[in-house]
Amino acid sequence: MQKPANSNKPCPVCGKPPHPDYTPFCSTRCADVDLNRWLGGVYRVQTNEIADDPDGAEQS
Ligand SMILES: [Zn+2]
């Protein structure tokens, strides 16, 4: 993927004017948010949920 030539569109995440270095986003934070959306179906990043591990049974 290449950066679009025009940077007139607002940040797709928060709607703020995009930063030239982070086009089309306004910041690395918004870029990460969008990236996490893309990866949301594959990777779960920064989740506080504890997965049930079948091998992690604490039965004695
Ligand atoms: Zn933004």
For 12-47, what is each residue's pLDDT tens digit?
Answer: 999 999 999 999 999 999 999 998 888 875 555 555
Q: Structural domain of residue 29, as residue ranges? A: 16-43
Domain annotation covers residue 2: no
Q: Is 33 contained in some domain?
A: yes
Does some domain include residue 4?
no
Of 58 and 8, the one with more pLDDT: 8
What pLDDT sits at residue 37? 87
CA of 37 relative to ligand 1 center, distance in Å: 14
Longest Cα separation, the chain: 63
- Is 14 a known ligand-binding residue? yes
**Residue 21 forms part of a structural domain:** yes
Which pLDDT score, from 0 to 100, does residue 48 have?
63
Rg (CA), the chain: 18
DSSP H stretches of helix in the chain? 28-39
Choice between 33 and 59, residue whose per-residue pLDDT is larger: 33
Q: Ligand 1: distance of its center to the CA of 50 in Å?
A: 30
In a domain, 25, yes or no: yes
CB 19 within 8 A of CB 39: no
Q: What is the total count of domains within the chain?
A: 1
Q: Is 30 within any annotated ligand binding site?
A: yes
User: pLDDT at residue 50 above 70?
Assistant: no
State the distance between the two ends of the chain, measured CA to CA, in whole angstroms.
53
Q: Is 1 annotated as a binding residue?
A: no
Please report whether residue 55 resides in a domain: no
